[in-house]
Amino acid sequence: MTRAFLVVMDSVGIGGAPDADRFFNGDVPDTGANTIAHIAQACAAGQAEEGRSGPLNLPNLDRLGLSAATFLASGASTPGLEGSPRGLWGCAREHSLGKDTPSGHWELAGLPVPWDWHYFPDTQPAFSADLTRAVAQAAGTGGILGDCHASGTVIIDQHGAEHMRSGWPICYTSADSVFQIAAHEETFGIDRLLQLCADVAPLLHEMKVGRVIARPFVGTPEKGFTRTTNRKDYAIAPPAPVLTNWVQDAGRKVHAIGKIGDIFTMQGIDTLTKGSDAELMKALIAEVETAEDGSLTFANFVEFDSLYGHRRDISGYARALEWFDAQIGVLLPKLRDGDMLVLTADHGNDPSWTGTDHTREQVPVLIAGLGSGRIGQIDFADVAASIAHHLNIPAQGPGRSFL
């Protein structure tokens, strides 16, 4: 029996979204944003030399069709990535009206978002007095800190000391439909932070805010603050069955790696592994070696996005891509006959772009295990339909199999 592995390279976009002019970073539309092409061009120009050097080196992803998919999506060149594809390859465009994690993952799993998300205005304060009061009451504090659009690392530097003194949670948002709460793991308490997020999530979900995210950190004002890997997302549950449900309902096993469990509120998921991207890669390779016949393994690697995209760190993003590519080189020979490995992304986050938010882009669809050839331009939902086709289980939703 066949197996499927769906791996989301969080934010690894390839430009060319036809509606990019409708999405903005500040006052600048995302037209022209291209995560992979701009990183490759910066590397070739010697502008990404921190911790690495030279042209972007992604031989395994390129052999699967990354440069070809980027050219198909956007017509952009990717210096250093000029190989001939040996896998199935194409690009995918999203129809949901968002460039965020839930929108991209839900649609990749077969369910375009059926509503408009709520976004907070880029003002200060960003939140209504009623919402601020409800969060403070749930926290047992006299108020909140932040109350604005912000980078998560910047805002804990700005308010970390006051947070430790007052005990007030640091609340902030971004261009995504998200409400984030940062708190010190020791002085505020990790369990207290998670409980606070769980308590306020229903209110935010009723507003159609996609996620409430707990953002724990450690450190001191003197030595600086660092976010930990104990992040937890409280997402709206998908309103209809998605790929994980389809597989589980067919009596098969579903293994989630990374924040997949949070994104889908554990719907249709049998096992979950969390940790750093390095730990998650070990878990993914282990699933390739041991996962049951007929199973689905669904993984997300978030550090491209969280550590480098939002921070506009081109060198760091390039290093992460090269590390990931080397690990995929270890994984590929372990695939069994009949396995399907899909490498894709949920949105872009061009580190050369203005602002600090995601960018509206098409994404690569690179497939190992099923021969070679061009699948062309497809929709996000077609990924789920194709995996269902491969596993020989019924599919739902608007997607069509490209197999």
Q: Say what the pLDDT of residue 26 is.
A: 84
pLDDT at 82 over 90: no
Q: Say what the pLDDT of residue 84 is.
A: 85
Q: Are strands 211-220 and 224-227 parallel, antiparallel or unpaired?
A: antiparallel
Interval 286-294 mean pLDDT: 98
Tokens encoding 42: 């910066």
Tokens encoding 329: 């080189």
Q: Say what the pLDDT of residue 175 is.
A: 83
Provide Rg for the chain, Cα atoms.
20
pLDDT tens digits for range 323-351: 999 999 999 999 999 999 999 999 999 99
pLDDT at 129 over 90: yes
Q: Say what the pLDDT of residue 346 is.
A: 98
pLDDT at 114 over 90: yes
Interval 362-380 mean pLDDT: 97
Q: Say what the pLDDT of residue 141 is.
A: 98
Confidence of residue 176 (pLDDT cuts 50, 70, 90): confident
Q: Say what the pLDDT of residue 232 is.
A: 93
Q: Say what the pLDDT of residue 379 is.
A: 98
pLDDT at 396 over 80: yes
pLDDT at 30 over 90: yes
Interval 114-127 mean pLDDT: 95
More confident position, 321 or 26: 321
pLDDT at 283 over 80: yes
The answer to whether 168 and 155 are in contact (CB under 8 A) is no
Work out the percent of the chain whose per-residue pLDDT is above 70.
100
Interval 59-83 mean pLDDT: 95
Q: Say what the pLDDT of residue 1 is.
A: 75
pLDDT at 200 over 90: yes
What's the burial of 18, exposed, middle or buried (CB within 10 Å: 0-12/13-18/19+)?
Answer: exposed
Tokens encoding 88: 């199935």
Q: Say what the pLDDT of residue 83 is.
A: 73
Q: What are phi and psi of 291, to 5 degrees?
A: -60, 150
Q: Say what the pLDDT of residue 371 is.
A: 95
Mean pLDDT of the chain: 96
pLDDT tens digits for range 214-253: 999 999 999 999 999 899 999 999 999 999 999 999 999 9
| Threshold 0.75, pTM exceeds | yes
Q: Give the separation between CA 357 and CA 348, rounded to whole angstroms.
A: 9
Burial 256-266 (b: 16+ CB within 10 A, else e): bbbbbbbbbee
